[in-house]
Chain A
Amino acid sequence: MTKKHLIAILLGTVGFLLPLVLPLETLSLAGKINLGIFLMAAIFWILEPIPIYATSVLVMLMQIFLLSAESPIAGALGDFQAPAYTLYLNTLANSIIILFLGGFVLAAGAVKYQLDRNLSRIILKPFGTKPGSILMGLMLVTALLSGFMSNTATTAMMMAVILPIAAAAPEGDRFRIALALSIPFAANIGGILTPIGTPPNAIAINALVSRGIDMPFSSWMGYTAPLVISGLAALWFILIRMYPSSQARLPLQLEGKFQTSPKAIALYVIFALTVLLWVTEKLHEIPSGLVAFIPVALFPVFGIIERKEIRSLPWEVLWLMAGGMALGVAMNQTGLAVWLVELVPWAAMSPMMILAAFGVVAILLATFIANTVAATLLIPIMMTLVGSGIGDGFAIQTAALMVAVGASLGMSLPISTPPNAIAISTGLLNSSHMLRVGVVIGLVGYVLLLASAFLIWNLIF
């Protein structure tokens, strides 16, 4: 353990103890404990002395032991109606988590039978060999796939596609930078498209669901599609302007064949069925979390994924989300969220300004820390703010979308998202390229976010 880690742990501990010793008269003891957990989690998530998923489960543990009805100190919590500890634990298997699990399983099957690779091949074919159109095709494929698979896995796959093109480009061709940036950025933007595209979406949807507001799969896609499409278009335009190709044509080698084994065909059918049921949720009203369980159950049944693949599913991402959700639950229960909201004199600002400000904070925070964590920290406060009547000028869905989408738009640093980290590791570009385009995309994205909020979401909700 390094010195840096030690200091972070010390800071986290101080963060936990601070609310207990400060004279915070308006906050209950439960609220103080919750604030302590919140501060500690925030410090751990930001400085990462332990992995972020470990912080998540630590949060759950502390809540179970300090803030549940079964807690040994439950009696000392005074007026606080401590919930059953299962309320916190249930987040581990709530419908959003299952929705994500479904997404993971679909992705694992797709990778195993190279469905994703073959789909990308099919989609890329019509885009020809001109640099501009190839770039457009690559971004489209990446965005679409990352809407249903993890942004990181999609980026890894697409990097394998562009690396030979980049290697074939003449030394010093700036188009290489365009290629290397297009993939992670399109993946980051594409993740916005569906509820399972990236974890912040899940945090937002869970917050809405816990307030009794439904957010069907297809509705989410409808709300975010304009932003995703215009964001991709803007990115495409920026990239070919800033890093044009010196070649008239590029060699794009797409080889491969759809697998036709019975298992592969079973995968295609179940995959198509699941996605179809998701995007048509409005028509049949089968909840997406329920649909997600179809591949979770049927893939092992048909032997499409086996023990090895099940073991290598990214379970820690589920823990990370569940811990974040549990923290949100506690902040509502203990009144911490309300207390925090009341700290700021919101009345001085117009609701639109507040909304705009949260968008900026979400983007900035997500630039430096994990997107999920940014969403986890901001969404409970944002939701409470709207619920408390201060943000009367906009709908609660708008607030949730604002933070969740904003969290996906922070991408100007290599550490901002895992796809960025992969791209920078290839050495095809350096961080100044990423910063330049990332900042522009952040600004453009922010404008699109505001436009979506005021021109679309606010009119619908």
Chain B
Amino acid sequence: MNDPKLYILCVEDEMDVLDAILRDLSPFESTFQLEGFSSAQEAGAWIDGLDPDADRIALIYCDHVMPGQRGVDFMSELQRRESVVLKGTCKVLFTGQAGHQETITAINEAGICHYQAKPWEPDELVELTRKLLTDFVIAEAIPPLPYMSQLDQKRIAEHLHENNPFQDA
């Protein structure tokens, strides 16, 4: 079986901010697929074109305050989709100003796993991404070796040790 392609999506309506996010996340591009979108609509349509047999979305970074569909609503919509591609996807909302009601929606309906404030420190973003990708790979029982170089290697090594996913042969 081939290893799945794991995607990191970034949705942000301001192009210079999107550029900065993609630039900060580019170290992951050696092992993961990185894609940027300027609106929820664009991302939503693009996700439809993925191959359920080969592609998995590991992580979505989404701005909250956007024209058209807002971040929380987009994430809720994705949460309701029953695509294999979106199974276990970790959703991160980029916001400094989500209100109480939005936070409730985020947790109950959108399955947001993390809030990331703006502006961010590039190193922190990279570490957060590493942690969330590692969570995803372990939780979804994806064979971790092809992605290990960009993951939390100690956790992956311990996971391999404790779970015997493969053996001498």
Residues on A close to B: CB < 8 A?
Answer: 2, 52-53, 108, 111, 150-153, 156-157, 159-160, 163-164, 191, 198-199, 312-314, 316-317, 320, 370-373, 417-418, 421-422, 425-427
Cross-chain contact A199 with B169 (CB below 8 angstroms): yes
- Asked if A426 contacts B148 (CB within 8 A), the reply is yes
In the assembly, what is the distance between CA of A317 and CA of B165, in Å? 12
Say yes or no: B2 contacts A2, CB within 8 Å: yes
Contact indicator B148/A425 (Cβ below 8 Å): yes
Check A156–B161 contact: CB distance below 8 A: yes
**Measured between C-beta atoms, what is the minimum distance from A41 to chain B in Å?**
14
Chain B residues with Cβ below 8 Å from A150 are 164, 167-168
Q: Among the listed A2, A418, A425, which residue makes an inter-chain contact with B167, where contact means beta carbons less than 8 Å apart?
A: A418
Give 28 pairs: A residue, B residue, CB < 8 Å, sorted on A. A53-B169, A108-B164, A111-B161, A111-B164, A150-B164, A152-B160, A152-B168, A153-B164, A153-B167, A156-B160, A157-B157, A157-B161, A198-B168, A199-B169, A312-B164, A313-B164, A314-B167, A316-B167, A317-B167, A370-B169, A372-B168, A372-B169, A418-B166, A418-B167, A418-B169, A422-B148, A422-B157, A426-B148
* B interface majority secondary structure: helix
Asked if A52 and B169 sit within 8 Å, CB to CB, the answer is yes
* Contact (Cβ within 8 A) A317 B168: yes
Q: Mark B125-169, 1 if CB is under 8 A from A, else 0.
A: 000000000000000000011101110011001101111101111
When distances are taken between beta carbons in the complex, the residues of chain A under 8 Å from B158 are: 156-157, 160
Count chain B residues whose beta carbon lies closer than 8 angstroms to a beta carbon of A.
20
A425 to B162, Cβ gap below 8 A? no
* Chain A residue with Cβ nearest B167: A314
A109 to B166, CA, bound (A): 17
> When the two chains form their complex, are residues B168 and A418 in contact, meaning their CB atoms are under 8 A apart?
yes
Contact A159 B2 (CB under 8 A): no
The smallest C-beta distance from A316 to any residue of chain B, in angstroms, reads 8
Given A422-B157, A426-B148: A371 and B169 interface contact (C-beta under 8 Å): yes
Tell me the minimal C-beta distance from A385 to chain B in angstroms: 25
A425 touching B149, Cβ below 8 Å: yes
Report the number of A-B residue pairs with Cβ-Cβ less than 8 Å.
82
Chain A residue numbers with a CB within 8 Å of B150 are 427
Would you list the 8 A-B pairs with minimal beta carbon distance, nearest first?
A: A427-B149, A156-B160, A425-B148, A156-B161, A159-B157, A314-B167, A160-B157, A425-B145
Apart from A157-B157, A370-B169, A426-B149, list 12 A-B contacts with CB within 8 A.
A2-B2, A53-B169, A108-B164, A111-B164, A150-B168, A152-B166, A153-B161, A156-B160, A159-B153, A198-B168, A371-B169, A418-B168
A164 touches B154 (CB 8 A): yes
Residue of B149, B166, B168 near A371 (CB, 8 A) is: B168
- Among B153, B162, B167, the residue within 8 A (CB) of A111 is B162
Q: CA of A198 to CA of B168 in the docked complex: distance in angstroms?
A: 7
> How far, in Å, is B142 (CB) from chain A's closest CB?
13
Give chain B nearest CB distance to A204 CB in angstroms: 15
Report the minimal beta-carbon distance from A455 to chain B, rounded to whole angstroms. Answer: 28
Expressed in whole angstroms, the Cα–Cα distance for A152 and B162 within the complex equals 11
* A-side contacts of B164, CB under 8 Å: 108, 111, 150, 153, 312-314
| A residues in contact with B148, CB < 8 Å | 422, 425-427
Complex contact A163–B154 (CB within 8 A): yes
Most chain A CB within a 10 A radius of its CB, from B145, B150, B163, B167: B167
Q: Are A425 and B146 in contact (CB under 8 A)?
A: yes
CB distance from B150 to the nearest CB of A (A): 8
Partner of A422, one of B2, B145, B154, B162: B145
Chain A residues positioned under 8 Å from B154 (CB to CB): 159-160, 163-164
B168 neighbours in A (Cβ, 8 Å) = 150-152, 191, 198-199, 317, 371-372, 417-418
| Docked complex Cα distance between A182 and B18 (Å) | 42
Tell me the complex Cα distance, A371–B169, Å: 6
Please, how many angstroms separate the alpha-carbon atoms of A2 and B54 in the complex? 12
Contact: B162 with A421, CB < 8 Å? no
Cα of A320 to Cα of B167 in the assembled complex, Å: 11
Q: Is the CB of A426 within 8 A of B153?
A: yes
Q: In the complex, what's the smallest C-beta–C-beta distance from A157 to chain B, in angstroms?
A: 4
Which single residue of chain B is at the shortest CB-CB distance from A314? B167
Contacts of A156 in B (CB 8 A): 157-158, 160-161
- Minimum CB distance partner of B144 in chain A: A425
Q: How far is the CB of B103 from chain A (nearest CB, A)?
A: 35
B152 nearest CB across to chain A (Å): 9
Return chain A residues, CB-CB under 8 Å to B149: 425-427
